[in-house]
Structure 1
Amino acid sequence: MKKIIFTLFCIHFFSFFLAQNADTLRISRKEAESVFLANNLDLIIQKLEISQSEARVVQAKFWPNPTLSISEVNLWRTYDIEKQPALVGNWGKNTQIAAEIEQVIQTAGKRRKNIELQKLEVESEKYELQEVLRELKNLLRNTVTEIQYNQEQQKLYQGQIASIEKLTKSYHNQLNQGNISKAEYIRLKAQEIEFKKTLVSLRQEIEEHQVELKALLMAPSNSYIVISDELEIPGKEISELELPKWMDMARENRPDILIARNKEQYAHKNLELQKALKTPDLAFTLEYDRGGNIMKDFVGVGVSFDIPIFDRNKGNIQEAKLDIEKKGYETRKTILKSESEVNSAVQNYIRTQEIYHQIDEDYESTLDGLLASHEKNFRLRNISMLEYMDFLETYIGNKMIILDTKKELNEYYENLQYVVGQDL
């Protein structure tokens, strides 16, 4: 209960900040998902569609209304008729009138079968909500990963720019004193400009992801969202031995498979309804006739129904049978596709996981230490600019390899959850 209250508080707290015109919004991955689930308009629309389907079930349960018909009323005085008592006061002695109430009774369980079809429509809308949620959660999580990846890249280049700016300033002083050649200074300045240009490109790239994330979270257009978490690898180890389990899970949980199975059930129920439609409905009537019969006040009952001579709904029944066959193939196709996707997702994750495990835990810190050492030796002119630049290129390249691997692991893990149809 405390966890639920805390989550609701976080959502409300974040919503309050969304309402402000603050430029920067800091939020974690977990908080982003909570806000998404509470605020996303696509999910709200899909939930309303479920309510609409449930309303159609309620409507399907009602019987058809009876029909009242009043006819044979003469609006003028008629002579040479048998005497009749007045209906109201002195009115009605020369008036003829007929009234009829008709009630249609659906036969062959049509009403019940239609209710069952509408209930399957409700289930279909619920599965559609799961499918929309699956698609949007995958988009949200990958967008957050892209922003985290971009933020880490920016940190990397911002750190190098800060360092190289100091070196450039120092070399400019040395140039003015005639201690170094202009070519050395230009080479260093060119590297600084190249880093700054890369940083600008990264900031332009993150803007595209910002647009996507703000749309998913319903955040103000003038806000800038910062993901407070660092980019980390998923905490779950994936083994190829688990592949059969993931495939079974996909068959049981994937919304597109559930939708396909629901459509197959709908096709079977529709066939039942089409077969029932060949049986005519009955229309029972209760009639009253005044002055139009040998009896003064005639009351009678009647029944009417179509005679199924020409139309026995054969075409619709045949179409419904073919639809069952078609939906069966579509379900099988969806299941085969899911198995292929799960296998591919598992293989991609395992391959990337193996690469990441080959990187020593202290490899990044070793790289950082070596870079600091090369910068110091470069300032002291113990190493040449070529040696320093070569190592700087190696350093950035290796840092990017680590970042790329982390990003790919997150993307492949999210893809595995997506193709399985359930959070792992």
Structure 2
Amino acid sequence: MRRSILILVNVFIFFGGFAQDTVRLSRADAETLFLKENLLLIAEKMKVSEAEALVQQAKLWPNPNITVDQINLWATRKQTGGQEVVPPLWGSFGRNRQFGAELEQLIETAGKRKKEVAVEQVGVEKAAVEFRELLRGLKLELRGRMTGLQALEEKQKNEEARLASVRKLSQAYQNQVQQGNVPRNEVARLKALELEISRELREIADASFELQAGLKQLLKLDPAQVLLITDPLEMEVSAYRLLSPDQLIDTADRPDVRQAQLEETYYHKVTELERARRAPDVTLRAQYDRNGNAMLNFVGVGASVDLPLFNRNQGNIQYAQINARKAAVMTQQQTLTAQTEIVRAYRGFKNALDFYDTLEESYDRSLDELLDLYTRNFMNRNISMLEYLDFSDTYRNSKQIRIDAKRELREQFEKLNYASGRDL
């Protein structure tokens, strides 16, 4: 009695621990978790904040500059003749002392500051589009891994059904061998098939582990947890049968195309800024000088400006113009590339859909019934070993073809999403 209780306790602990370490997520829940927890996305979002900080910095005026100089710390008797040459400013401060002060303020001309802000604002848009481009790629990886994991789960169920059937037969034939009713070689064939299916299940487990490792990293899950996708692999396709390449091209929202467009806009803004920099800036000055010239307290104002005789920023203007033209060419190239990828992805999806439509769902269900029927007939010696093994291979191949068709259809659909730059 005590031993039975201990066994029950151990079974409870094992399955309780396993259940606790298993994470079951639908595809929608996984994507929600991905958007919230993915570390690469979090880091990329910070780049937008970085670009916004540069916009804020570009809006600031240059700081004024103050200079205090020409200070004599003391005056000797020989210099003053023992008399008060210069009266103090207040109290005793400033008696017989000379000093000067100057306040400067740089004034940017030709709207340079406004144009610098415009350049940095394009940088904010570029950072936002780079985030979308990263998200687009990571979504494709996430969905591809989930699809692969779902296909492996279905394949595992099919192989487990085959294994259960073979083990049932193997056990029954082992009993018949002991009674001398069947030859040992038939049991050996069944054992070989059992080992082959067990090896395939192990390979499925290894492949599933690799997919789960990548998924858990994308979702920031504990590496020790087991992830299960609860949705079926099969997808509803009725809403996508009327898609056309022209429609997809017209409604596409590709971040990489937008990146190319923003690069062109950026260099147009830089060209405007470099042209504005041809105009020299003005520095305004206010000066105070005590006892430095004919006046005891001199207050004056002034201004300074560079004379644009030699350097009119010609090289930087030409550099920006060339890059703007180059960016325009690259925008055309990226647009053409996007259109080509959309058409190719559409063809891939359409081919996968056409093949998927040729598969009959009723045939898939009948395979399970036939497997049970063949198992019972073989057990009752109504069919031969060769017939049973032949159907076992047919069952496996037919199931795998359907799984591959469902997986291919979903993968091609996600490639179509990726190519169009939006979720269809």
Give the letter aligned to residue 421 of structure 1.
G
Q: Structure 1 residues 21 and 167 mapped into 2: Cα distance closer, same or farther (>3 Å)?
A: closer
Q: Residue 301 of structure 2 corresponds to which residue in structure 1? A: 301
Q: Write the deviation string for residues 332-376 of structure 1: whole angstroms up to 9, x where unpaired.
A: 111111111111111011111111111123111122222222112
Distance, in Å, in 2 between the alignment partners of 1:236 and 1:306 is 70
Say which is worse superposed, 217-226 or 80-89, in terms of deviation: 80-89
User: In structure 1, what is the Cα distance between the partners aligned to 2:397 and 2:371?
Assistant: 13
2:185 paired with 1:183 = yes
Indicate the residue corresponding to 2:34 in structure 1: 36
Mapped partners of 1:158, 1:239: distance in 2? 35
Native 8 Å contact 2:349 2:409 kept in 1: yes
SS in 2 for 1:68: strand
Unaligned runs of 5+ in 2: 1-17
Q: Work out whether 1:166 is the aligned partner of 2:164.
A: no
Mapped to 1, the partners of 2:237 and 2:348 lie a distance apart of 16
* Mapped partners of 1:236, 1:74: distance in 2: 91
Structure 2 SS opposite 1:362: helix
User: What is the CA–CA distance in structure 2 between the aligned matches of 1:149 and 1:263, rounded to whole Å?
Assistant: 41
Counterpart for residue 350 of structure 1: 350
Q: TM-score, normalised by structure 2?
A: 0.92
Report what 1:154 is aligned to: 156
- Equivalent residues of 2:287, 2:301 under 8 A apart: yes
Equivalents in 1 of 2:115, 2:236: separation in Å? 48
Residue 380 (structure 1) aligned with residue 380 (structure 2): yes
Residue 238 of structure 1 contacts residue 350 of structure 1 at CA under 8 Å; is this kept in 2?
A: no
Partner of 1:26: 24
Is the partner of 1:167 in helix, strand or coil? helix
Partner of 2:134: 132
In structure 2, distance between residues paired with 1:71 and 1:347: 78
Q: 1:62 aligns with which of 60, 63, 81?
A: 60
In the alignment, structure 1 residue 323 sits paired with structure 2 residue 323: yes
Determine the structure 2 residue equivalent to 1:13: none
Partner of 1:46: 44
Deviations along 1:193-236, whole A, 9 cap, x unmatched? 00000000000011111111111111111101111122112434
C-alpha contact (below 8 Å) 1:255/1:421 kept by paired residues: yes
CA pair 337-23 structure 1, distance change in 2 beyond 3 A: same
8 Å CA contact retained: 1:240, 1:346: no
Q: Report if the CA contact (8 A) 1:26-1:225 is conserved.
A: yes
**Which AA in structure 2 matches 1:46?**
E
1:257 and 2:257 aligned: yes
**How far apart, CA to CA, are the structure 1 residues paired with 2:121 and 2:139?**
27
User: SS state of the match for residue 24, structure 2?
Assistant: strand
- CA offsets per residue over residues 107-157 of structure 1, 9 Å max, x none? 111100000011111111111111111111111111111111111111111
Task: Measure the CA separation in 1 of the matches of 2:220 and 2:130.
Answer: 21
| Whole-angstrom CA distance in 1 between matches of 2:180 and 2:308 | 109
What is aligned with 2:367?
Answer: 367
Provide Cα deviations, 1:7-50, integer angstroms capped at 9, x if missing partner.
xxxxxxxxxxxxx9932111111111111111112222122221
2:244 aligned with 1:242 = yes
Partner SS for 2:20 = coil
The CA deviation string for residues 59-107 of structure 1, in whole angstroms up to 9 with x for no partner, is: 1111001000001111120525993321131232311111000000011
Q: Which residue of 2 aligns with 1:12?
A: none
CA distance in 1, matches of 2:224, 2:361: 40
Deviation, structure 1 residue 237: 4.6
Aligned to 1:83: 85
Separation (CA, whole Å) in 1 of partners of 2:110 and 2:241: 54
Instruction: Tell me if structure 2 keeps the 8 A contact 1:124–1:259.
Output: yes
C-alpha deviation, 1:310, in angstroms: 2.4
Find the aligned partners of 1:178 and 1:350 in 2 and give their Cα distance.
Answer: 57
Render the CA deviation track for 1:248-306: whole Å, top value 9, x for unaligned. Answer: 222xx111111111111001000111111122111000011111111111111111122
Rounded to whole Å, the distance in 2 between the matches of 1:121 and 1:135 is 21
- Hey, what does 1:336 align to over in structure 2? 336
Q: Distance in 2 between matches of 1:295 and 1:402?
A: 101
The answer on whether the counterparts of 2:165 and 2:372 sit within 8 Å (CA) in structure 1 is no
TM normalised by structure 1 equals 0.92
**What secondary structure sits across from 2:199 in the alignment?**
helix
Q: Is the CA contact 1:150–1:206 (under 8 Å) kept in the aligned structure 2?
A: yes
Identity %: 41
Q: Residues of 2 paired with 1:255 and 1:161: CA distance?
A: 48
- Indicate yes or no: 2:143 matched with 1:141: yes
Asked whether the 8 Å contact 2:38–2:218 carries over to 1, the reply is: yes
Confirm or deny: 8 A CA contact 1:21 1:222 kept in the other structure: no
Amino acid in structure 2 at the alignment position of 1:115: V
Q: What is the CA-CA distance between 1:313 and the residue it aligns to?
A: 1.4
Amino acid at match of 2:307: I
State the alpha-carbon separation in 2 of the partners of residues 35 and 236 from structure 1. 28
The CA distance in 2 between the partners of 1:21 and 1:222, in whole Å, is 12
Aligned length: 403
Identify which range, 76-85 or 365-374, moves more after superposition. 76-85
Change in Cα spacing, 1:85 to 1:132, as seen in structure 2 (3 Å) is same
Residue type of the alignment partner of 1:101 = L
AA at the equivalent of 2:368:
D
CA distance in 1, matches of 2:123, 2:57: 13
**DSSP 3-state at the match of 2:102:** strand
- How far residue 241 of structure 1 moved from its aligned partner, in angstroms, is 5.9
Q: In structure 2, what is the equivalent of residue 231 of structure 1?
A: 233
Which residue is equivalent to 2:9? none
The answer as to whether partners of 2:59 and 2:113 remain within 8 angstroms in 1 is: yes
* C-alpha distance in 2 between matches for 1:36 and 1:133: 10
